[in-house]
Structures are given as structure tokens and as C-alpha cells.
Structure 1
Amino acid sequence: MASTRDWFETVAEAQRRAKKRLPKAVYLALLGGAEAGATMDDNVGAFRELGFRPRIADLPAARELSTTVMGQEIPFPVVISPTGVQAVDPQGEVGVAKAAAQLGTAMGLSSFASKPIEEVIKENPKLFFQSYWVGDRDAMLARAERARAAGAKGLIVTLDWVFDSRRDWGSPFIPERINFEAVRKYAFPVASKPGYLYRWVKSGSLPDLGVPNLVLPGQEVPTFFGAYGQWIQTPAPTWEDLAWLREQWGGPFMIKGITHPDDARRAVDIGATALSVSNHGGNNLDSTPATIRLLPAIADAVGDQIEVLLDGGIRRGSDVVKALALGARAVMIGRAYLWGMGANGEKGVNNVLVIIRDGISETLYGLGKSSIHQLTPEDLIIPADFTRSAKKA
């Protein structure tokens, strides 16, 4: 169907509409990666280097897209990746949860989200709670227990972050809180985007820069930068710490941020249920290769001992098929759904998910496959120098 006012046909169109609709600083917060953006660009560009080997006859009338991720059945292999404070739309993570639930898929909720887990999980029970390693073991366990009490189906620990905020094109101004100074700085940019302003006025609220999922009993909700400062000051976890948390949690457990086969093996050793091959969307250590280049070596290193997901650069259903052919069980998407939300709120998120789901089915048809579980590297044309792999230490 052709694009209309309330529907867009591609994620690229969602991005264009989000750019037009959002204040510049909000849009830039969704766009940029670390330093020169080499990793961010490669995350997307690497998919273009992979070709398909299509078939033309005996094509399947129906295609099976369903799978399971951390014990949750999902009708197509796409999971919402956890992303931080969402000032893109007043509904924030609640709207994302509704959109994902409408299509039956699971959602990762960031510990830096703008909406509390108890509110979000009401809209989508297939929810995995994501946490950085912030504070001591007691603090980590307290947040995990709150997530368990709310009904979270799994725990995601994200480790791919080196606190590098430098961007060659500049970082947008993000206020500590919405006060007079913030309103003064944002007044003209927001007023110049009437659609964005109208949504917030209609909601009767202002963008909330607090992070309610990081609050501990007896404390006030920290601001984004207050929580960020605590995170910076927390020593990075050891594998012993991660094994301890996995044991304390006792349920489905994912390590997110793996790019090295040795780390993938360590995730297996501590008993993790799943791992995500991720470079934080290009916001971690710039010059790290695209995740799709690293996926085959990691999948080979762990075999079927752990669920392998890929996060980074997914813009269309054919990208998902390429990831599955190279060893992923499913993918996680971040910028794609945030652009959808920027373009058209909850409906825009749903729109993006439908585009990607339908693209998976169409690509399977072209390859002559009746199921995502039939995909192998033989379905792809892979350049000789495509993959990247660190040598085993």
C-alpha cells in the first residue's frame, strides 16, 4: 500500500517524518553514535554487502515466522530493544508496549525508561527488564526483585558502554530537569514543531527526565543525569558478579553487548539463557565492526548452548532474514521503532513492526523458504572479507 498521512511504507520514511516532526535536539538524540559514527554507519551499511540467492518456482504459499525468546513465544523474530528516556512522545514506553502487544511480540524495558515497569507491563506482559550495573549487589538485586514482583519474564544486563559521549557532529543539549532554563532554551525549537508541541499539550504533561525504574526503597526518583553519574562511578562487574546475579534471578537471563567470541563463551559458562550481539547501536566503542559481521563467529563459538540475538542496524525485514541465516534466533530493534514513534506515536511503532514483519515473510517467499528455521548461510551471498572475528585469547 502507498504511504498516506497515517501510514508509511518504510523505516526510512519513518525517519524522515520523525526528523520533520521532532525538535532538532530530540531527533539528534535518536540519531547519533559515538565519536565519528563509524560503527553506527557500519551497522547499517554491512547489511547491504550481503546478497540473496532467490528461487523462482515451488515457492511456499505460507511462511512460518514464529519463534521463542527467553521462554516467550513471539509470532515473528523481532523484539523491542530497551532504550532510555523517551521524550519522543508523551506515551513513551507505554505506547511502545501497546504497539508491540498488538502484534504479540516481546519488549525490553530500560532501567533508564521514563515510565515505571508496573505501568508498562500492564500493556505488554511479555516484558524483559533491562539493567546496567549501577550500584552494589544489594542495589542490583533490589531492582531485579522489583522487576520480578511486577511480572517481568526475563532480565537483561547491558554491558556495552564506555561512557564516551563525544560526537563529531556535536551532542544535543539535554537538561537535568524541565525547569525555567530548559524551557527557555527549548521554547523556539519546540514551538517550531507544532505537532510535537500539540501532543505534549494534549497529554497535559511535560517530558519527564526522571528514571523511575532505578529508584530504590526510601529514595526519590533520580534524574537521568543523577542516575548516569551513579552508573559512571560504579565499578564494572566481574563475571563472578554476573554469575551471582543470574543465580539470584533464577529465570531467563540475557547478557547484552557481546562482540567477542570469548565473552560469548563466558556467558554460556555462567548459565545465561541468551546473549545479544550488540555494540549499543554504535554508541559504545567506535570502530567496533557492525554486529552482523561479528555474528557468525559468535554463533559458531556457542552453538546451540545459548540463544543468540542480534541488535544493530535492522531497518527492514530482509535484514532480519540475513541475521537469522547467519545464526541469530531473533533480532532486537531500537532506532527503527523510535523513529516510528517520532513519526506517529504508538501507531508509528506498530507501523514499523508491521513493515519489518511483512518484509521477513516476503523475503522468505523469494528464497523459497516456508519457515525462518530453514534459513542457513547458503541462502546468502557473503563476500570473502565480510565477517570479522577477534582471535581466541
Structure 2
Amino acid sequence: MASTKQWFETVAEAQRRAKKRVPKSVYLALLAGAEEGRTLSENVAAFGELGFRPRIADLPAQRDQTTTVMGQELSLPVILSPTGVQAVAPDGELAVARAAATSGTALGLSSFAGKPIEDVVAANPKTFFQVYWQGDREAIVRRLERAARAGAKGLIVTLDWTFAHRRDWGSPALPDKVNLKSMLAFAPQVIARPRWLTAFLRRGTLPDLTTPNLAEAGQAAPTFFGAYGEWMGTPPPTWHDLAWLRERWDGPFLLKGISHPEDARRAVDIGASAISVSNHGGNNLDSTPASIRLLPGIVDAVGGQVDVVLDGGIRRGGDVVKALALGARAVLVGRPYLWGMAANGETGVHNVLEILRGGIDSALLGLARSSVRDLVPEDVLVPDGFRIDH
């Protein structure tokens, strides 16, 4: 279908509309990448080096995209990745949860999210809860217990972050909380994008930068930057710590941030259910290779013992198919759905998922594959030197 005022045809169009709708600092936050942004750019560019070899006859009349990740049945092999406080639209993570449910898929909910896990799970039972190694063990256990009570279907432990705040092009200025001082400082940006503020005011609210899923009993929820500071001050986990954490979560358990085959094997050793080949969307150590370059070697390293998903650089359905052909069970997407929400709220998130679904279907048809489960490495043309196996 052609693009209309309420519907767009590509992820690139979602990004363009997002830029026109939200304040400059909000938009720049959705683009952020570490240092020079080499990994950020490489994540996307690497998919362009991979090719397809289409067929012309005996093409399947029906194509099946269903798959299962961490025990959850999905109507397409795309999961919405956990991202922090989603104040790009009033409903934030609730809009994301509802859109994912409409499209028949799952989402990851960040522990830095702006909406409580109980409300998000109610909107979409296929919710995985994401945690960092943050604070003391007792606090971590309380978060896990709350997530379990709320009905989270699995745990995502994010490890691909080195607190690289440097941005050669300049980090966007964002307030710690919305008060009179910050409102005055950001007034010129907000006035330039009146529809964004109007959407909040119609709900009788302002953007909320607190993290309710980190709130302790009887205490106010910390701000995003307050939570981030605690995370920065917590010594990074050892493999012994991660094994301890695995023992305390009775359910599917995903380690996010795998870039090295040895780490993939260690994840299997501690009993992980799944791993995500990820560099935090280019926000970890800059000059880390694109996730898709690392994927085949990591798939080989674990030998089918765990679900492998890929995070980073997905912009179209063909990218999803390339990742699946090289061994991923599904992919995680972050920026694309945030652009969709910035462009058109819940409908925009659903729109992005359906763009990806359509692109997956077209690629399956062209490759004469009746199911995403039929994809094999030979469906992708991989240039010499593309793979990084160590």
C-alpha cells in the first residue's frame, strides 16, 4: 500500500517523520551511537554486503513466518528490543506492548522503562523483562521477584555496555526530570514541534523520566539518570555472578551482548536459554564489528544448544531473512520501532512491524522458501572475508 498520512511504507520513512515530529534532543537520542559511530553505521552497512540469489518458478503460494523464541510463539521472527524511558509518545512502553500484541509478537521491557511491568504485561503477556547488573544482590533479587509476579515470560540480561558517553558529533542534551527549569530550557525545541507536546497535554501529563520498575517499596522511583548512575557505580559482573543470577530466575534466560564465541560457550555453560549477538546498537565499544558479521561464528560455537537472536542494523524484512539464513532464530529491533512510535504512536510501532513482515514475505517468496524455518546459509551470498569467527 502507498504511504498515507497515517501509514508509511518503509522504516526510512518512519525515521523521516520522527525527525519532523519530536524535539531535536529527543530525535538525536534515538540516533545515539558511541564515539564516532563506526559500529552504529557498520551494523546497517554490513547487511548491504550480503546478497540473495532468487528463483523464478515453483515459488510457494503461502509463506509461514511463525517461530518460537524462549518458549513464546511469535507470528513473525521480530521481537521489540528493550529500550529505556520511551518518552517519545505519551503511552510509551504501553503503546509498544499493544502494537507488538496486535502484530502477534513479543517485546523486551527495560528495567529503565517509564511504565510499570505489571501494566505492560497486562497489555502484552509476551513480555520479557530486561535487567542490568545494578545495585546489590538483594535489590536484583527483588526486581526478579517482581517481574515473576507480574508474569514476565523470560529475563534479558544486558551486558553490552561500557558507559561510552563520548559522541564525536555531540550528545543530545536531556533533562534529569521535567520541571519548570527544564521546561524553560527546552521550550524552543518543543515549540518547534507543537504536536509532540500536544499529545501529552491531551492526556493531562508531561514526559515522565522516572523508572518505576526500579522503585523500592515506600520510595519514589529513581530518575533515569539516577538509575544510570547506580548502574555505573556497580562493579561489572563476573561469570560467577551471572551463574548466580541464572539460578535465581526460574524461566527462560537470555544473555544480551555476545560478540565473542567463547562468551557464547560460557553462556551455554551457565545454563542460558538464549543469547543475543549484539553491540547495543553501536552504543558499546566503538569499532566492534557489525553483529551480522559475528553471527555465523557464534551460531557455530553454540551448536544449536540455545536460541540465538541478532540485534543491530535491521532496517527491512530482507535483513531479517539474511540473519535467519545465517543462523538466528529471530531478531531484535530498537530504533525502527522507536522511530515508528515517534512518527505515529502505537499505530506507528505496528506499522514498522508490518513493514518488516511484508519484507520477510517478499524475500521468502523470491528465495522459494515456504517458511522462515527452511532458510539455510546458501540462501545468502556472503563475500570472502565477511565472517568473523574469533
**TM-score normalised by length of structure 1:** 0.98
Counterpart for residue 227 of structure 1: 227
Aligned residue for 1:152?
152
Mapped partners of 1:269, 1:279: distance in 2: 21
Alignment-derived partner of residue 209 in structure 2: 209
Q: Is the 8 A contact 1:106 1:127 kept in 2?
A: yes
1:25 match: secondary structure: helix
Listed as ranges, the matches of 1:84-95 within 5 Å are 84-95=84-95
| Match of residue 13 from structure 2 | 13
Indicate the residue corresponding to 1:274 in structure 2.
274
Amino acid across the alignment from 2:58: D
SS at the partner of 2:349? helix
Distance between the aligned counterparts of 1:284 and 1:219, measured in 2?
Answer: 31
Distance in 2 (CA, whole Å) between partners of 1:68 and 1:109 is 18
2:133 counterpart residue number? 133
Residue type matched to 1:297 in 2?
G
C-alpha separation in 1, matches of 2:107 and 2:38: 28
> For residue 257 of structure 2, what is the aligned residue in structure 1?
257
- The answer for the alignment partner of 1:123 in structure 2 is 123
In structure 2, the residue matched to 1:379 is: 379
CA RMSD of aligned residues (A): 0.7
Look up the SS of the partner of 2:114 in the other structure. Answer: coil
Shift of 1:62: 0.3
| C-alpha distance in 2 between matches for 1:375 and 1:104 | 21
DSSP-derived class of the 2:86 partner: coil
One-letter amino acid matched to 2:60: P
Q: State the secondary structure of the residue aligned to 1:308.
A: strand
> What residue is the counterpart of 1:46 in the other structure?
46
Q: 1:143·1:213 contact (CA, 8 Å) conserved in 2?
A: yes
Q: Shift in Å at residue 174 of structure 1? A: 1.1
Q: CA deviation at 1:216?
A: 2.2
Alpha-carbon distance in structure 2 between the residues aligned to 1:330 and 1:69: 7
Q: What is residue 195 of structure 1 aligned with on the other side?
A: 195
Question: Aligned runs of 1:272-351 on 2, under 5 Å?
Answer: 272-351=272-351
| 1:245-294 CA distance string (max 9 Å, x none) | 11111210000011000000000000000000010000000000000000
Identical-residue share of aligned pairs (%): 67
Structure 2 alignment gaps of length 5 or more: none
Task: Tell me the distance in 2 between the aligned counterparts of 1:288 and 1:355.
Answer: 28
* Helix, strand or coil at the partner of 1:364: helix
Q: Count how many residue pairs are aligned between Structure 1 and Structure 2.
A: 390
* Residues 105-149 of structure 1: per-residue CA shift (max 9 Å, x gap): 011000000111011111000000000110111111110000000
Are residues 1:55 and 2:55 paired? yes
Deviations 1:350-382 (A, max 9, x none): 000000011111100000000111111101111
Moved more, 244-253 or 273-282: 244-253
Other structure's SS at 1:129 match: strand
1:237 CA drift (Å): 0.8
Is the Cα contact below 8 Å between 1:143 and 1:216 reproduced in 2? Answer: no
The answer to which of 127-136 and 211-220 deviates more is 211-220
Q: Choose 177-186 or 265-274, whichever is displaced more.
A: 177-186
**Separation in 2 of the partners of 1:76 and 1:209?**
31
Residues in 2 aligned to 1:97 and 1:326: alpha-carbon distance in whole angstroms = 28
Worse-superposed segment, 131-140 or 143-152 = 131-140
Q: What do residues 75-127 of structure 1 show as CA deviations (whole Å, max 9, x unaligned)?
A: 11000100001110001000000000011101100000011101111100000
Give unpaired runs (5+ residues) of structure 1: none
Paired amino acid for 2:144: A
- Pick which of 209-218 and 138-147 moved more: 209-218
Secondary structure of the corresponding residue to residue 122 of structure 1: helix
Tell me the SS of whatever aligns to 1:109.
strand
